[in-house]
Chain A
Amino acid sequence: MPDSKYFSTTNRGELFELKQLLNSQSSRSKREALKQIIASMTIGKDVSSLFTDVLNCMQTVDLELKKLVYLYLISYAKTQPDLAILAVNTFVKDASDPNPLIRTLALRTMGCIQLTRISEYLCEPLRRALKDADPYVRKTAAICVAKLYEVDPALVSEYGFISTLKELVLDSSPMVVANAIAALGEIDESLPGTLELKPNLVSGLIQCLNDCSEWGQVFIIDAVASYMPSGTEEAESIIERLLPRLYHANAAVVLSSMKVIVKNLKYVKSAEFSRMIQKKLGAPLVTLVSAEPEVQYVALRNINLLVRKYPEILQNEFKAFFCKYNDPPYIKEEKLEILVRLANDDNAPKIISECKEYASEVDVGFVRSSVQAIGRIALKIESAANNSVETLLELVRTRVVYVVQESLVVMKDIMRKYPNEFEGAIPVLCENLEALDEPNARASLVWIIGEYADRIENVVELVESFLDNFRDESIQVQQQLLTCTIKVYLKCNGSCKSSLERILNDGMKNSDNADLRERAFFYSRLLQANKEMANSVVLARKPRIVSTHEDLDESLLNTLLDEMGSLASVFHRSPHVFLASSKPLPQVSIMEDEWNEENAQVLSHDILDLSLSDKPQLGDASEASNKTSVDELFESSSGTASTKKPKEQNNDLLSLIDDLFSPAQSSSSVDHGDDLQKRMKLLLPSSKARGLEISGAFSAEQGGIQYVLKLRNESNEIIGENAIQFNKNLLGLIPARSKLDVVRINPNESVVCKVDLRYVSSEKDSRKGLLFQMALKNDVCGVIYFGDKLDESNLNIFLESESTGKLTKQAFLQEWSKIGSSDEVVKQFNVPAGVSLPNYFIEKLYPLKVFHVASSPSGQSYFSARLVGEICVLLEFRWADKDSNVQLASRCNSAKELVKLFERLIEKALGK
């Protein structure tokens, strides 16, 4: 009974029949029916109407039937959330079945049904499963945490699953360890800092590699890659312990280990050790070249990167990169590229002769690359130039048209790099004049003729033969001919004069091409003005060319080497390109320098106030929206930039307020919206951010802190894939999700979005002062740096309410002495006369969220305030009776700037 029969049946009453089968008593008919249903699913037929009937089959002892039902559930639960909830009971029951297989199956399937309502019921079984006696269940549970996190991160933190996962990293079963690491790694992408490795843990992980499955090894090694060694010793030890992994059969294990080793090599001080390790890297790389073509491709792309940084490691193994006849084209191109990079004085002749072999292959594209490769080696290695030229001439003699043309282009570069060395080649090159039909090749030959005009006997004849068909040539050739003719004229004492006049005239009068026309005018005036000058301009020495191929930027190369094996490393493109599915932004530590520079600029550029707060123009919401659309119409037709600016900003703000009024945010009050509007400040004008204007402000809502961003797209492109990242800051606040929930911003559209912030202790850095450095990234502008800062207007948002903000006397004392007097800031100010102290303080400071702790009758009063991120500010007021002068001493367990900010605020509130 082959299963394929299920694919063919398509009769009408099918669904009805299936229903009957599902409701039959025999589990065999049920199985048959389910197979049919799953087959229909696969060919894209909708079988969701059978959901209830399938659910009824779920409670069975027949494991095969159960598996089939689960397969169905995974696919359709999302479309039938109300019915899916009916499956929960069976799932929960199965999750405590004595058979570990069934427990696993239930847990795995439940995790796959990513519905919030199901997730609630998942937590309890998951909690048990994470502590299950059977490792198979535990490893499934570990992955299940990652699944749950995707649906409902709050539940994960509520149940403390992340810390349970961290415990599983120390599990006795290696497969559990590996899966726990994998799950932590995935959560780490949206919650950085989840997978934080400690030195002894790294050591333990490497220890357990031996017992892990190959995929487990990959997870663990990749995790170790994110660990930064404390010093040269630790780096050396990691390298040494990972060396045996380089001989693994699985290419992923090899490349991951290679990545860790290369990364750690940077921290190794001993040059000798480093050299010794580099020697050992060659062999495993060569082994990868004999893998399946697809895997080989990834390996070759990475080798390509590696040899740029460490060319020595493979120079002796260059033969391993010789192309085979049956290699797919993408492999051949890569091998060729690596061969060029590996070429040195010793092996160049062998590589050149190998390239010559390739030049006789069938694939025209590859043949061209091979010819170019010969040229590139000549440009790179001086001692190989002779050999290259000889080989190229041999190729030219084959008279295969595309080989000849490519060779000519390459010869031009070589003759430019080594002037006057290869003039012997010119006659051979000129022989093929008629065969050339590509503009690039023709232009190259014309350039050569012009350059060597005085060494070619029949140069006039040659030039004339080109000039006869001057008008039929492509622009590129025409321009080159113009220059060539004038070179001939200057070099050969006025020969070709009549031709030159003709062609200059032709160029000036008859050409449609502005470049050609200008060039002709330029030359003709130059000649009229001064022949000597013409000589020095036209026949000037040319700058030397180094290579015809672009090289990767050094910092990009380093970044890519750190990510060996990733897609970025294969495409040789910055990891940001793969934003959608990768870590949102580069690690802050790498960008430290950039931050400082860029931000200095941004912040010195005074944070502009929109100064609209004075004249709130709250109109009717519907009117506002009408206005917007009318305005937009108007804009698109007139496009007068100068008049539209202020209007638009108004509209934006109106729409923003509109936004805040909308039912979804009903909790926010009118005042709040107004307040937010006032506080929104322009952070970066569009001219500095590649067409994106950024404004923003902090806000507090529903017990959380958000950053409200207004993005206005002033470019012509649709901006998508927006993501934001914060640098370390005083309060340790970073976006909860780096991806903005704005899908895309159309040109001339502005959007407001909220970024939920959360506190992460590792992101706290009091050295950053009051600055919040932020980076926004999207697919059009790349990475943009900007910043906001903590000031009087937004400090209130970060202050905790009375329940936490008010310290007990004891806690206050403890904290006060812990900070110590060295960090105390003292200030004097006057209070209005006649107020009763300390009640005046308590009253005035309460709205500022600075709370009274205690007072003593002798004229002392103590206050405390707390900020997000476990920062507390302690204040001591001292005054003498009947005196309006008050001394304020403040202590804070964070930056001094913060204390000063507090003082200003308090002085403002209390002072006269």
Chain B
Amino acid sequence: MLLSLFLINSSGEVIIEKSWKTEHTRRVCDLFWQEVLKVSSPEELAPLLHFPKFDIAHIYTCGIFLVSTVRNTLQSTSALELLHRLVDTFVDYFGEFNEHAIKENFVTVYEIIEEVLDHGFPFTVNIASLKELVPPPSLLSRMIGSVTGSSLSRKDMSEWNSHKRVSWRNPNIRYAHNEIFIDIIEEVSAILDSKGHCIHSGISGNIVVNCRLSGMPELSLHLNDSSLAKHSFVHPCVRYGRFIREGVVSFVPPDGVFQLLKYELWKAPYVPITLEPQYSVDKERKRGRLQLTLDIRGCGGKPCEEITVSIPFRNTMNVTNLNVTRGTVRYDSQLELCKWNLVNVDSARTLALTAELSSNQDKCLLPMSISCILVDFRIVGLALSNLSVHQLTVLNESYKPYKGLRRITKSGTYEIRPY
């Protein structure tokens, strides 16, 4: 389904090249690059492009274009999803994804591509099993490699066995301290109007597990709200049937960090932060005043760890007398962006920002000069949907592990219409 794959840096240089069809060579990249030059920023280029002889699916992230030619018959979404997964895999392997990281580890990159895509068909992207096939370039393996001239991979190889009872877990894992951490992370997206009313909101939630348990534990997780079962995606290790029937998440966990459950709610029970902008303009329309009132409500009494309010201005504005009741505020005239940073704000607080605005042009057009107000925040100790873990039991193993639960609510796209 993928016919070729290229990694191109932001100046158009091909760093990685892999082609499963002879005719899809670097020439593809030249044509692609002409399209890139047509748009003002790489993000604006539509992800699928049709050329007379081939079709391209691509994504752009961290200064790198991942470009692949694709067949029509198969899902174009799988190509795009796959490119995103590749990036995730690289991040997991190298800690970061950028031109430097790729060049630094290009052999591993090629090996991963060989393993993930055979003949252009996607295969394993389960990072745990991938790591058994392609060992990550750790400092240790490099050192041993440089001293003894042999590589660690041979040792791993002999242990490799595809007949394991569960393919995602090696039964020989041992930990001195058995621990399991469960994070419930919810991202709230919302569009609010200028009066603080919610136009549209949604939560996308994630349950991420960091499992450091020995042997082959069998876990069962009881959530306080089993209705989630209807709209969620579960990790392949979860017994799906039981989850649908009883709402109990029972599974043999992979080792390390993995995403156990992903769910989607289309309406947040409430929005934790509201912002109300108010404007006044003097008679000659020369100078204007902006006042932003920020309200934090609900949040179950938990403080907001951090809040960032960004106000991108449309025309070049002179911003003077920028004041806030708390936190720090800066106006970057280059980016035409005003940023207000707050840390550790208690719930049920009202804070304000005031600024005087004047325009270089003849008139000060308020509120038209503000295109949007964006808010980023993070509240620890709260899941907005009120999801929680009732009980987590470990069967099959005799030890009593340390169990940790953390709940975090943070912002997805959280924006306030300025008027």
Contact = CB atoms under 8 A, between A and B. Distances in A.
B22 A78 contact: yes
B81 A325 contact: no
B80 interface: yes
B298 interface: no
What interface size band does chain A fall in? 35 or more
Contact of A218 (B72, B75, B84, B231): B75
A146 B59 CA distance: 28
Interface in B30-85: 43-44, 46-48, 50, 52-55, 57-59, 70-78, 80-84
Interface string B229-249: 011110010001100100000
Contacts of A182: 121
Interface in A309-339: 317, 319-320, 322, 324-326, 328-330
Given A3-B107, A143-B118, A146-B119, A324 B415 contact: yes
Interface in B71-101: 71-78, 80-84, 100
A63 interface: yes
B413 A324 contact: yes
A567 B133 CA distance: 33
Contacts of B173: none
Given A330-B46, A567-B72, A255 B77 contact: yes
B46 A297 contact: yes
Given A27-B149, A63-B154, A294-B47, A567 B76 contact: yes
B48 A297 contact: yes
B110 A38 contact: yes
A571 B26 CA distance: 24
Contacts of B146: 1, 28
Interface string A569-582: 01101010110111
B151 interface: yes
Contact of B52 (A134, A144, A297, A779): A779
A711 to B, nearest CB: 20
Contacts of A329: 44
Interface stretch (B196-204, B300-308, B384-392): B196-204
Contacts of B382: none
Interface string A244-276: 100111111001100000000000000000000
A60 to B, nearest CB: 11
B344 interface: no
Contact of B240 (A78, A111, A210): A210
Interface stretch (A357-365, A370-378, A613-621, A846-854): A357-365
A578 B266 contact: no
A416 B189 CA distance: 41
Contact of A325 (B59, B84, B157, B372): B372
Contact of A62 (B58, B154, B232, B415): B154
A811 to B, nearest CB: 43
B380 interface: no
Interface stretch (B122-130, B212-220, B278-286, B323-331): B122-130
Given A99-B158, A140-B118, A322-B199, 11 more contacts: A3-B103, A135-B162, A247-B231, A283-B266, A287-B264, A294-B57, A320-B266, A322-B200, A324-B415, A325-B374, A578-B55
B236 A222 contact: no
A319 B107 CA distance: 46
A256 B75 contact: yes
8 contacts: A3-B105, A4-B100, A38-B106, A250-B81, A292-B59, A294-B47, A573-B50, A582-B71
Interface stretch (A49-57, A64-72, A420-428, A870-878): A64-72
Interface of A: 1-4, 6-7, 26-28, 31, 35, 38-39, 42, 44, 61-64, 67-68, 71, 78, 99-101, 108, 111-112, 114, 134-136, 139-140, 143-144, 146-147, 175, 179, 182, 185, 189, 210-211, 213-215, 218-219, 222, 244, 247-252, 255-256, 283, 286-287, 290, 292-295, 297-299, 317, 319-320, 322, 324-326, 328-330, 357, 360-362, 398, 563, 565-568, 570-571, 573, 575, 577-578, 580-583, 779
Interface in B154-170: 154, 157-158, 160, 162-163
Nearest to A67: B111
B47 A298 contact: yes
Nearest to A333: B46
Interface of B: 3, 14-17, 20, 22, 26, 43-44, 46-48, 50, 52-55, 57-59, 70-78, 80-84, 100, 103-107, 110-111, 114, 118-119, 121-126, 133, 142, 145-146, 149-151, 153-154, 157-158, 160, 162-163, 189, 191, 199-200, 202, 204, 230-233, 236, 240-241, 244, 262, 264, 266, 314, 368, 371-372, 374, 412-413, 415, 417
B250 to A, nearest CB: 14
Contact of B266 (A215, A317, A577): A317
A719 to B, nearest CB: 13
A249 B47 contact: no
B75 A566 contact: yes
Contacts of B53: 580
A577 B71 CA distance: 12
A71 to B, nearest CB: 6
A590 to B, nearest CB: 16
Contacts of B59: 292, 294
A566 B73 contact: yes
A319 to B, nearest CB: 4
A27 B150 contact: yes
B76 A566 contact: yes
* Residue of B74, B199, B233, B412 with most partner-chain A CB within 10 A: B74
A361 B371 contact: yes
A580 B52 CA distance: 9
A70 to B, nearest CB: 8
B76 A565 contact: yes
B350 to A, nearest CB: 25
3 closest cross-chain pairs (CB), A and B:
A28-B149, A249-B233, A252-B78
A252 B84 contact: no
B264 A42 contact: no
B71 A325 contact: no
